Amino acid sequence: MNYEFFIAKRIIGSKAYKSSISAPIIKIGIAAIAIGIIVMMIAIATGIGLQQKIRDKVVAFNGHINITNYDSNNSQESVFPISKNQEFYPEFKSVEGISHIQAVATKFGVIRTETDFEGAVLKGVGADYKWSYFKEFLIEGRLPDYSEKRNEEVLISQYLANRLQFKLGDKFQMIFKKDDPNKLPNIITYTIVGIYNSGFQDFDATYVIGDIRHLQRINKWKDDQIGSFEVFINDYSELQKKGIEIYKNTPSTLNTQTIADKYYSILEWIKIFDKNIYGIIGIMILVAGINMITALLVLILERTQMIGVLKALGSNNFSIRKLFIYNASYLILLGLLWGNIIGLAVLFAQKYFKLLPLDPSIYYVTEAPVYISLSYIVALNIGTLVLCLLMLLVPSYIITKISPVKAMRFE
């Protein structure tokens, strides 16, 4: 029988243990572990959640990788057309890990009403467009259907709808300038069939989603000419690798650009969250460990006579240290249990009830997103337990300095 574990259980279960002088310090130690795990879980869940949410919004409007013509055009407008008759379209078979590729085009225009006007970019899409992201963003109406004949249905953002006082079903005129300044501009009357809100104000203030065939007609392109291709990959962690592979498997006349290059400042900014997460985890484990060290020292001091008796009966220092490590492990596990219960309750409450709103102009989201995964929760608990126990090995060394004779006389 593991007698150290047996004695530790008897100590933990005794009434004297719960009403002893060390009881308040033990409770503080348990609370420190619980608070630490709660803060770490929230930091990881919100940090990763915010990274994924912002990244997904960028991907929704651009794909993971863009294939365009080589040109010096720095605007968001498609100037030089690309033929859709490419070996990699409609399926990119030469590169593994490609989930979808779609043809799009963009053109700047002015939305005109009786009392106001607003500049916007019409993003022309076709029957191959991936609507999965916008299904999540859709707050009113439905998604446009461009699988049949050319139509004037558009998807507009809630931001633009509010600024221009539009509602579902309204019609508006959008004016597109021609290359020849002496010619009258093109005017198209669109009907709003859906209103979306991505929470990414920079994009919401820019894009109106419409039929690509209107832009082909305005630009006098052929039916097989588009502005660019948007490529979606299965694994974001392979973005740079797939970007290189796609570049090598496209004609020399075409250029490729990943969203990490196109939106460098945004995606580099969200990487800072990783450093914040590591910093919070380090601080909270250190604080929890120090509290447990204090609790262990108080336990040792309170049980000095017992240590003397055990040594007099033949127990070695290692066995007695194990006894107190078992005792401390119970306290840590108790703290982890309460921390997980409270932490998960907070995370699920935020996930389903959106209790914590954020400013979309700063964070690109309207509420704090959370990412809940069993893998990081288990890793966090195991890591906290192991690191705290390792920190307790040093103070437990004080047991080796206790003399049996003096310890039994200790009061």
Task: Give the Cα separation of 157 and 140 in Å (integer).
Answer: 10
- Percentage of residues in the chain having pLDDT higher than 70: 95
Query: How confident is the model over 317-333, as pLDDT tens digits?
Result: 888 888 889 988 999 99
- 126: tokens are 């076709």
Q: Please tell me whether residue 190 adopts helix, strand or coil conformation.
A: strand
Predicted confidence at residue 53, as pLDDT, reads 92
Predicted confidence at residue 407, as pLDDT, reads 57
Query: How confident is the model over 344-389, as pLDDT tens digits?
Result: 999 999 999 989 988 887 888 888 999 999 999 999 999 999 999 9
Average pLDDT over residues 201-225: 94
Cis bond upstream, residue 90 (ω within 30): yes
Q: Which of 10-19, 190-199, 306-315 has the lowest mean pLDDT?
A: 10-19
Average pLDDT over residues 54-58: 93
Predicted confidence at residue 74, as pLDDT, reads 61
Predicted confidence at residue 358, as pLDDT, reads 86
pTM of the model: 0.84
Predicted confidence at residue 362, as pLDDT, reads 81
Average pLDDT over residues 288-292: 90
Choose between 62 and 8: higher pLDDT.
62
Phi, psi of 163 (to 5 degrees): -65, -35
Predicted confidence at residue 205, as pLDDT, reads 94
Handedness of CA 308, 311, 313, 319 (dihedral sign): positive
Q: How far is CA 16 from CA 11, 40, 91, 111, 333, in A?
A: 8, 33, 72, 78, 21
Predicted confidence at residue 56, as pLDDT, reads 93
Q: Which of 42-46, 96-100, 110-114, 364-368 has the lowest mean pLDDT?
A: 364-368
Pairing mode, if any, of strands 207-211 and 138-141?
Answer: unpaired
Task: Give the Cα separation of 84 and 285 in Å (integer).
Answer: 55
Measured from the Cβ of residue 75, the count of other Cβ atoms closer than 10 Å reads 10
Q: Provide the residue type at 34 as one letter.
A: A
Task: Give the Cα separation of 169 and 292 in Å (integer).
Answer: 63
Predicted confidence at residue 410, as pLDDT, reads 52
Query: How confident is the model over 105-117, as pLDDT tens digits?
Result: 999 999 998 888 9
Task: Give the Cα separation of 110 and 187 in Å (integer).
Answer: 9
**Does residue 169 surpass a pLDDT of 90?**
yes
3-state SS string for 386-404: HHHHHHHHCHHHHHHHCCH
Predicted confidence at residue 365, as pLDDT, reads 84
**Does residue 269 surpass a pLDDT of 70?**
yes
Task: Give the Cα separation of 35 and 41 in Å (integer).
Answer: 10
Q: Which of 23-27, 50-54, 122-126, 310-314 has the highest mean pLDDT?
A: 122-126
Average pLDDT of the residues of the chain: 90
Measured from the Cβ of residue 81, the count of other Cβ atoms closer than 10 Å reads 19
